[in-house]
Amino acid sequence: AAGHSLSDEFAPSAEAGEAASRAALLDITHGTLRRYGRVQAIVRALSQRAAPDPALEALLWCALYALDSGRYAEYTVVDQAVRACAMLERWSAKGYVNALLRRYVRERAAIERRLETDPTARYQHPAWWIELVQNAYPGEWQEALLQGSRVPPMCLRVNRRRTSVERYAARLDELGIAARVIGPEALLLAERLATERLPGFAAGEISVQDAGAQRAARCLDLADGQRVLDACAAPGGKTAHVLEAAKVEMTAIDIDPSRAARLARNLERLGLAAHVQVADALRFAESCTASFDRILADAPCSGSGVARRHPDIKWLRRQSDIAGFAERQNDLLDALWRRLAPGGKLLYATCSVFPQENDAVVEQFAARHADATRATLPDGAPAQWLPSAEHDGFFYALIEKTA
């Protein structure tokens, strides 16, 4: 709505209403936005109206997603969409909505063939986004875009201070919850579940964290006794994983007070402790006199690697935004570098798939700092992970400060 993010729109009503109705609302809104390029193209192809009505278009987009989802009977979707016209005070549009949706049901196969020639409809990303990914990953771009529009996987991180991944997997199996091990502490669920259904969640035995995000703690090259700074820490998944992996002195900062409070609550649930501060990373780096052995710079970015979790990102972002993110990322690295002890290591991380925010930023940083050397990632995996059936898209670069 008016350029606002979907998460912001839901925030005021986060605790209102029944869980089931909220889940249905999330499914319709997120599902529609994942297929936004497609449903827009279908309405354009079938509508005879010269001046679109935004409210009616939104209703049609949601109805088309509901039809495609296969969760509802076709006649129910059409009937409910027609009834919704009255709720929107668009009584005269009932016939138009009914006719368009019924025509889609009748002509779906022909419409599908027409959509194949429209990249935005086929891959469900803006044209500029498709071009950037195609140029960066000529052999993988199609799968990356298709994965970027699917329902994201649900992965758990097992708290090794409370249990092991093998023991927890066995508990899930006993409860009939299908999961498989995909990392040292990572369990991929076959189906998404509410955290209330996961044994040991409240007791801090597990957290929900994407497998790609779990790479951060493994790539920091941690050891007991280190001083660690998580410079953009909230909501705290990576902070907590670091503390689960090694006995370090952790300072975690975030600019948003509410997100920092959420981070503190997450640490409390897991039985972990850190120095949590509300601060802007740039100003913190300028005013702080301490040095750190390890710094995690989980930089603000386009979010292009996690767009399926926040599907409005694809349509709110503009190509011109990427250069702005890269500039801020460079500024953040320069500031944090001053807080890294000689011989220390900084892990630069983004949830982006755009090279302009990733390798390009690291290369520019290294060119400015003679004491910066890019090190091999300890987990041995490539720096860039694209979205897949197992994880989101993440980038990591480990930079060492020569003594």
3-state secondary structure of 393: coil
Q: Look at residues 248, 363, 361, 352 and name the one whose alpha carbon lies nearest to residue 295.
A: 248
CA angle 152, 147, 299 (to 5 degrees): 70
CA–CA separation, 244 and 274 (whole Å): 12
Q: How many angstroms separate the CA atoms of 385 and 362, rounded?
A: 16
| Candidate list 85, 219, 232, 351, residue with the active-site label | 351
The H-or-E segment that residue 115 falls in is helix 94-115
Q: Rounded distance, CA 398 to CA 346, Å?
A: 6
| Sequence-ordered list of residues with C-beta below 8 angstroms from that of 226, at least 6 positions apart, any chain | 246, 248, 249, 293, 294
How many alpha carbons fall within 13 Å on the CB side of residue 178?
A: 3
Give the Cα separation of 77 and 94 in Å (integer): 13
Is 351 a residue of the active site?
yes
Catalytic residue numbers, as ranges:
351
